[in-house]
Amino acid sequence: MEHVGERGRAVLAAFRTESAATRRHVAGRWRTLPIRQLESMVPDSGDVLEFGCGNGLVALDLALSSPHRNVHGVDIDARRVAAARRAAQTAGLDGRVSVELVGEHWVPMANSADAVVIVDVLYLLGPDKAREVLTAAVQALRPGGMLVIKETSAHPRWKTQIVRLQETLAVHVLRITVGTTVQAFSVEAIAEYLEALGWEPTITRIDQGHLHAHAVVTAKYPEPLAAQPPI
C-alpha cells in the first residue's frame, strides 16, 4: 500500500473541508493506488488531460508533483467535479488545475493535450464505449504526446475478482461511483486496441504489495514514418 508521506498529506489536506465520506474515500484511494509510480509515467511538463478525474485526487497530485504541469480534469459526476474544484482552490492550484463537468458523449478538442491520463475509468463504460474514449484520447494528443492509462490486468484472476467485487459494491450498492456497468477492460485489451490503431503500447505492472492487479499502459504518439528515398 502507498504510504501517505509529505506529498500525500499535501494532497489530502486539500479535501479537509469536504464531507467525512469524501475524506475517507480519497484517503483510501491514496493508500490503495500506486500513485507515485503512476505519476512518474506522466510527462513532467505540458498540458495534461485527465478523463474521469472524479474528486480530483490524481489531478492534484500531478500538479503538486511538478510546477510545469497544467492539468484539466473532466468528469460526468457533478458532485465530484464540485469537490475537485474546491480541493484545487484549497490547495492553491486553481491556476493550474481546472475541472470541467461534461456530458456522457463529450470529446476533447483534437491536438489539445501533451498527455492524456485515464485512471480506473474504462471498466465502468463497457468495451464499446471504452474504445470510443480511447479513440478520443488518441485524437486529443499533440505530436509527441503520451497516453497513460491505469486499469487492472487480467492476471492473476484472484486479484481481478477482488477489484470486481469492490467496484460492483461501489457502483450498484453504495452508489459512490457513477457508472453504467462493471465490466473488465483489462490493460491487455487496451494495448491490443492501441496496437490496432498503429501505436506501440507498453504494459507496466505496478501491483507489487497491493491486493489489486494494478497495471499501466503507456504509449507515445507514433513518430511519422521517414520518407523513403527514391529508387
Q: What is the pLDDT of residues 55-93, one digit of tens each?
A: 999 999 999 999 999 999 999 999 999 999 999 999 999
Grid cell 481481478 is found at 160
Q: How confident is the model at residue 208 (pLDDT cuts 50, 70, 90)?
A: confident
**Which cell numbers hold the place of 13?**
489536506
* Range with the largest mean pLDDT of 147-151, 156-160, 170-174, 183-187: 147-151
Query: Domain count of the chain?
Result: 1
Of all helices (H) and strands (E), which one includes residue 99?
A: strand 97-101
Q: Which domain holds residue 52?
A: 5-220
The pLDDT score that the predictor gives to residue 231 is 56
Nearest to 33 by CA among 218, 220, 216: 216
* Structural contact between residues 3 and 9, judged by C-beta atoms closer than 8 angstroms: no
* Structural contact between residues 188 and 154, judged by C-beta atoms closer than 8 angstroms: yes
The pLDDT score that the predictor gives to residue 121 is 93
Identify the CATH number of the domain in which residue 56 sits.
Answer: 3.40.50.150
Please report whether residue 125 resides in a domain: yes
* Half-sphere exposure in the Cβ direction for 70 (13 Å, CA): 8
What letter would DSSP give residue 110? Answer: T
Please report whether residue 169 resides in a domain: yes
150: helix, strand or coil: strand
Q: Round to whole Å and give the CA distance between 224 and 215.
A: 28
Please report whether residue 227 resides in a domain: no
Q: What is the pLDDT of residues 128-143, one digit of tens each?
A: 999 999 999 999 999 9
Please report whether residue 29 resides in a domain: yes
Q: Give strand pairing partners of 152.
A: 214
How far the first Cα of the chain sits from its last, in Å, is 58
Q: Round to whole Å and give the CA distance between 108 and 163.
A: 29
pTM of the model: 0.85
What letter would DSSP give residue 198? Answer: T
| In the predicted structure, residue 47 carries a pLDDT above the cut 90 | yes
The pLDDT score that the predictor gives to residue 165 is 53
Please report whether residue 65 resides in a domain: yes
Report the sign of the C-alpha dihedral through residues 6, 170, 41, 65, in that order: negative
| Mean pLDDT taken over the chain | 87
Q: How confident is the model at residue 3 (pLDDT cuts 50, 70, 90)?
A: low
199: helix, strand or coil: coil
Average pLDDT over residues 88-111: 96
Average pLDDT over residues 185-214: 90
Of all helices (H) and strands (E), which one includes residue 46?
A: strand 46-51
11: helix, strand or coil: helix
Please report whether residue 116 resides in a domain: yes
Please report whether residue 226 resides in a domain: no
Please report whether residue 55 resides in a domain: yes
